[in-house]
Amino acid sequence: MLPFVAKGGVAAAFCKALPWLLALSALIAAWLVARTAHAGAPSPQGRTVVTYWDKWTDFEKAAMQAVVDDFNASQQEIYVDFLSISGISQKTLIAIAGGNPPDIAGVWANDVIDFADKNALIPLDEMARGTLVDRERYLPIYWDMGVYRGKLYGVPSTPGVTGLHWNKALFRAAGLDPERPPRTLAELDAYADKLTIARDGKIEQIGFLHSEPPWWPFFWVHFFHGELWDGRANVTLDEPRNVRAFEWIQSYAKRYGVGPLQNLSAGFGNFASAQNPFMSGKLAMVFQGVWLANYIEQYAPELEWSAAPMPVLNAGEDPVVFVDTDMLLIPRGAPHPEAAFRFIEFVASQASTEKLNLGQRKNSPLREVSAHFYATHEHPHIVMFQELAESKNARGMPKMSIWREYRSEVADAFQRVWLLESTPREALAKAEARIQKSWDRERRRQAARPSAALAWAPIALIALFVAALVALALRERARHRVAMGGRKSARAHVSGAKGLAFFSPWAVGLLVFIGYPVAASLVHSFCDYSVLQEPRWVGLQNFAELFGDQLFFVALRNTLLYVAFALPLGLLIAFAAALALDSGLRGSGIYRTLVFLPSLTPVVASAMVWLWIYNAEYGVLNDLLRRLSFGLIDPVPWLADRHLALPSIILMSCWSVGQMMVILLAALQDVPTSVYEAADIDGASFWHKVRHITLPLVSPVLYFNAIMGIIAGLQIFAQPYIMTGGGPARATLTYTMQLYENAFTFLRMGYASAMAWIMFVVILLLTAAAVRVGRHRVHYSGA
């Protein structure tokens, strides 16, 4: 403390009062923040608080918040608490399964079918009777998306509709009329040729791409009047019209070349960025939604563009339009369903619906649209998009409860066709066989009866396990008494009850948090189980389906390949780095830190960094190769080429070998120097010493790292999930990704549990093999 403070006076008083002043300032700041956050909004005190989850962020969230504020100010009984939630679909399902759902959830239209099929929603028909939530007020295409099996489950809020967007400046430069878009698919192909610029085998600008955006690979069949299913029992993916659509898609890959297209698309940035291919001028025409105008205004305000209906197969046909909408629904188990529906009815009013969609700059889901909506809307083509939603050829996603699986299969077929790895007929036939099998299984599941008794099976297994342990303990106790000949042992005075009392907290935690989940997964592996419904016993059906599923073996093969290459490579690099640092290298402390730091980086952050390193156009790796080769090496599509994607992820794994290196370095420093000195006297070379001294003496540490590497490698998930999503054409789909998708995307928990037990067996076998090898190869100094 400074002298003048210690002596007292004003400074001392101020220092003593400083903590209280800081606390008072913090309280005032918190009060101001809270007051600002709720400025103009009524207090929830004394009201029924309705929790509302939705996916919106930025200006879209602000638009919905304005409607929420209007509702809160319009009455004094209900207060809606609006929260922006990422991953809305999965988190809502998990909340429903956990018995703590929100009162209202805003999800995608197809989620309504999935949720309703899993008995996760409250039907709205009775609550909607006689209110503004009425079929006659909505466009049929949007209303029907909230209806499943004759019941209303979701109410449309903010719809979307798609059309062709084109770059006028690029049209003008190519000698095309910037005010006249193509009207048929043949014209689209001709325009695409004129707008494509290629030099020396490299595409610098392309007219049109079916893979951009990659969101709707299933929708192209509708341009050839194809259908994805017959509405009942049969999947129709490989019908001739659908094959023709995919032949049209493949014609672009044949015309421009797979390699040049991969190099071009690998350099595309994210949709919501200035590197978006359409906004950056690399893509002249794009099939996109009404929302694209918002992002053009934000990231490319100088772009000269326009929009029109997507070209059709034959001139004069009604436009083929992909439509979707966001839905407001009430989850099963919601605390305040009646109050929640009052807010939904408020949103359904024309004034609120138009205010919301004006704020989000979308079209309206209602049949009647006011002149004010059109006059004040910021989208220059909103009238056209509103009319497109009424087209006879407007289509949404099929109302199938297995649509997520269907969509995944079509995306894989699209990639195989796009990469010229399969003919359209072969790819679609293969995908149809898988989807038909899933659809048949789903229909059987819907017809089967659940069994509530299966919920007790895991507890019964745990009870049997505990009983077996008690029986073994009693048996051992009896054997001990016989061995002692009736004499009291030294442990006779020990209290078993006290010992169990001390042991019980750990035992209870083990049984609840580990024992029960393990037992439940074992039981569910023989069941059809979706978390939201009672399990149904299916015996060995899950395992039979797994071994008959080609995708299971694709994921297993990719995972084993990753372990087979990433583990030895990582051990080699870590051992080499440890040798270098152990040799007394100058500045070894700095190098050791630099090598170790990447292992501390979170996996997600590492994956994002390597995404940019591998970027075909802006990536550091390609730039380095170009400089070293004096421009002779073209940009490499590391993650877009199915032959390079998995090796790229394997190479990335070597970046985080620092932890392994530190362990090996500690082992190297523990090797006696006298052994090396004796080898030097005998004239041993550096490599002889490494082979005959270093490796044997650090082999226990190498063995430990190998075992841990096998276990960790077989569970690889985050890197391929973030960087490639399992693509291209499932070249990086790993076992845990497939397990995760079945468990948390398709909610096939029984199937995923079977996968988990198979992985357990695989890890057990590989570990046992490593232990067997270690008996003969690992040298223990004490042995």
Looking up tokens 């100088």 gives 302
What is the sign, positive or negative, of the torsion defined by CA atoms of 150, 153, 155, 156?
negative
Q: What is the pLDDT of residue 669?
A: 86
Q: Are residues 668 and 733 in the same domain?
A: yes
CA distance 128 to 138: 13
Section 97-118 average pLDDT: 91
Report how far residue 240's alpha carbon sits from residue 245's, in angstroms, rounded to the nearest whole number: 9
Residue 42 has a pLDDT of 58
pLDDT tens for 209-260 read 999 999 999 999 999 999 999 988 899 999 999 999 999 999 999 999 998 8
Predicted local distance difference test score (pLDDT) of residue 287: 97
267-276, 378-387, 414-423: which has the minimum mean pLDDT? 267-276
| Averaged pLDDT, 762-771 | 90
The reply to whether 714 and 575 lie within a common domain is yes
Q: How far apart are CA 593 and CA 597, in angstroms?
A: 6
Burial (CB count <10 Å: 0-12, 13-18, 19+), residue 292 = buried
Q: In terms of domains, do 672 and 692 share one?
A: yes
Residues 469 and 342 in one domain: no
Q: Record the tokens describing residue 382, joined without a space.
A: 């909103």
The CATH number of the domain where 724 resides is what?
1.10.3720.10
Q: What is the chain's length?
A: 783
HEC profile for 569-606? Answer: HHHHHHHHHHHHHHCCCCCHHHHHHHHHHHHHCCHHHH
The confidence score (pLDDT) of residue 337 equals: 96
Query: What would the two tokens of residue 359 be?
Result: 């704020």
Nearest Cα to Cα of residue 233 among 439, 399, 448, 407 = 439
CATH of residue 80: 3.40.190.10
Of residues 497 and 137, the one with the higher pLDDT is 137
Are 720 and 576 contained in the same domain?
Answer: yes
CA distance 587 to 490: 59
Task: Report the pLDDT averaged over residues 555-564.
Answer: 94
Angle at the Cα of 231 from the Cα atoms of 140 and 119, rounded to 5 degrees: 80
Confidence bin at 357 (pLDDT 50/70/90): very high
In the chain, how many domains are there? Answer: 4
Same domain, 676 and 551: yes
Q: Is the predicted pLDDT of residue 519 greater than 80, yes or no?
A: yes
129 assigned to some structural domain: yes
Residue 362: the pLDDT is: 94
Residue type, 140: P
Instruction: Give the model's confidence band at 489: pLDDT under 50 very low, under 70 low, under 90 confident, else very high.
Output: low
Lowest mean pLDDT among 80-89, 543-552, 580-589, 735-744: 580-589
Lowest mean pLDDT of 186-190, 302-306, 531-535, 746-750, name the range: 531-535
Evaluate whether residue 107 is within a structural domain. Answer: yes
pLDDT of residue 363: 95
Collapsing DSSP to helix, strand or coil, 644 comes out as coil
Confidence at 564, pLDDT banded by 50, 70, 90: very high
Any idea which of 35-44, 191-200, 316-325 has the lowest mean pLDDT? 35-44
Query: 410-414, 584-588, 703-707, 732-736: lowest mean pLDDT where?
Result: 584-588
Most confident of 342-346, 463-467, 603-607, 749-753: 342-346
Q: How far apart are CA 661 and CA 596, in angstroms?
A: 8
Final residue of a domain: which of 337, 357, 377? 357
* Neighbour tally for 573: CB within 10 Å: 17
Q: Residue 490's pLDDT is what?
A: 58
pLDDT at 40 over 50: no
The pLDDT of 157-175, averaged and rounded, is 96
Q: Does residue 174 lie in a domain region?
A: no
Local confidence band at 494 (pLDDT 50, 70, 90 cut-offs): low
What average pLDDT does range 87-101 have in this prediction? 88
Alpha carbon distance 663, 389 (integer Å): 63
pLDDT of residue 6: 36
| Residue keyed to tokens 């009430």 | 330
pLDDT grade for 39, boundaries at 50, 70 and 90:
very low
Confidence of residue 326 (pLDDT cuts 50, 70, 90): very high
CA-closest candidate to residue 292, choices 439, 431, 167 = 167
Q: Is 380 exposed, middle or buried (0-12, 13-18, 19+ CB in 10 A)?
A: exposed
Q: Is the dihedral of CA 267, 272, 275, 278 positive or negative?
A: positive
**Has residue 44 got a pLDDT over 90?**
no
For residue 415 the two structure tokens come to: 């990639």
Give the count of beta carbons closer than 10 Å to the beta carbon of residue 231.
11
Structure-block tokens of residue 336: 């305040």
Find out whether 322 and 216 touch, Cβ atoms under 8 Å: yes
Share of the chain above pLDDT 90, in %: 53
Alpha carbons 161 and 163: distance in angstroms, whole number: 7
301 located within any domain: no
Please indicate, yes or no, whether residues 673 and 766 belong to a single structural domain of this protein. Answer: yes
Establish if 596 belongs to a structural domain: no
Q: How far apart are CA 557 and CA 439, in angstroms?
A: 26
Looking at the fold, whether 66 and 135 belong to one and the same domain comes out as yes
**pLDDT band for position 477 (cuts 50, 70, 90):** confident
Burial class (CB in 10 A: 0-12, 13-18, 19+), 73: exposed
pLDDT score of 783: 43
> pLDDT: is 543 or 487 the higher one?
543
pLDDT at residue 729, as a whole number: 85
Q: What are phi and psi of 62, to 5 degrees?
A: -60, -35
- Pick from 752, 727, 728: which is nearest to 738 by CA? 752
Identity of the amino acid at 722: I
What tokens appear for 222 in the block? 């509708």
Residue 2: pLDDT above 80?
Answer: no
Q: Which residue has the higher pLDDT, 30 or 511?
A: 511
Arithmetic mean of pLDDT, 193-201: 90
Residues 6+ apart with CB under 8 A from 268: 212, 275, 276, 277, 282
Does the pLDDT at position 285 exceed 50?
A: yes
Three-state SS for 49? strand
Question: Residue 639 above 50 pLDDT?
Answer: yes
Pairing assessment for the beta strands 104-108 and 48-54 based on DSSP bridges: parallel
**All residues at 6 or more sequence positions from 225 whose CB lies less than 8 Å from its CB, including other chains:** 241, 313
The residue with greater pLDDT, 66 or 469, is: 66
- Both tokens assigned to 110: 């197809």
213 prior amide bond cis, ω within 30 = yes
Burial class (CB in 10 A: 0-12, 13-18, 19+), 237: buried
Asked if 557 contacts 734 with a C-beta cutoff of 8 angstroms, the reply is no
Smallest CA-to-CA distance from 650 within 563, 721, 571, 709 is with 563
Higher pLDDT pick, 466 / 224: 224
107 and 88 in one domain?
yes
| Residue type for position 21 | L
For residue 38, what pLDDT band results from cuts at 50, 70 and 90? Answer: very low
Q: Which residue has the higher pLDDT, 132 or 2?
A: 132
In a domain, 740, yes or no: yes
Helix axis angle for 109-117 and 88-97, nearest 10°, is: 20
Which structural domain range is residue 472 located in? 453-483+499-521
The model carries a pTM of 0.81
Q: Which of 531, 551, 557, 540 minimizes the C-alpha distance to 437? A: 551
For residue 293, CA distances in Å to 12, 306, 382, 675 come to 62, 9, 10, 73
Tell me, yes or no, whether 84 lies in a domain: yes
**pLDDT above 50 (res 294):** yes
- Interior/surface letters 477-502, b for 16+ CB within 10 angstroms, e for the rest: eeeeeeeeeeeeeeeeeeeeeeeeee
Per-residue pLDDT at 224: 96
Evaluate whether residue 312 is within a structural domain: no
For residues 16 and 57, membership in a common domain is answered with no
> CA-to-CA distance for 556 and 510, rounded, in angstroms?
30
In the chain, what percentage of residues exceed pLDDT 70?
A: 92
Instruction: Over range 399-417, report the average pLDDT.
Output: 91
β-bridge mates for residue 329, sequence order: 105, 154
CA-wise closest residue to 174 among 297, 285, 266, 273: 285
Residue 31 is predicted with a pLDDT of 41
Residues with Cβ within 8 Å of residue 510, at least 6 apart in sequence? none
Looking at the fold, whether 663 and 747 belong to one and the same domain comes out as yes
CA–CA dist 727, 247 (Å, integer)? 21
pLDDT at 11 over 70: no
Mean pLDDT for the stretch of residues 493-497: 65
Q: Around 420, how many Cα atoms within 13 Å sit in the side-chain half-sphere?
A: 12
Verify that 465 and 556 share a domain, yes or no: no
Residue 82 in 3-state DSSP? strand
Alpha helix segments (H runs only) across 302-396 = 337-348, 350-359, 371-376, 382-388
The DSSP symbol for 167 reads E
Average pLDDT value over all residues in the chain? 87
The larger pLDDT score, comparing residue 338 to residue 487, is at 338
Give yes or no for a cis peptide into 331 (omega within 30° of 0).
no
